[in-house]
Amino acid sequence: MKEFLVYTGMRIVVFVGSLLLVVGVWSLFTDRVNGLIAVIVALAVSGVASYFLLRRQREAFARRVEERAARATAAFEERKAREDEE
């Protein structure tokens, strides 16, 4: 759960930073910023940035999910084997 919270929190921080960057650059060129377009561009920028910047956190989260799935599979197989014996 910790890995999920860390990764999600960092994704939010990267998105907010991207949104501030997009709005800041946009406001340098025009007087009015289209909020919807700025959010869409920020989503794209933060997605690409997160892919490169948050690799370690994403891999830690994936490892945790994989470990949990392996434990669940092992427990299921153990229950299945006990039922087959009975």
Q: Residue ranges of the alpha helices (H) in 1-86?
A: 2-29, 35-53, 55-85
Dump pLDDT digits (tens) for 33-66. Answer: 999 999 999 999 999 999 999 999 999 999 999 9
- Name the pTM for this structure: 0.75
Centroid of chain to Cα 6: 9
Task: Compute the distance between CA of residue 43 and CA of residue 34 in angstroms, rounded to an integer.
Answer: 14
CB 33 within 8 A of CB 26: yes
Q: How confident is the model at residue 86 (pLDDT cuts 50, 70, 90)?
A: low
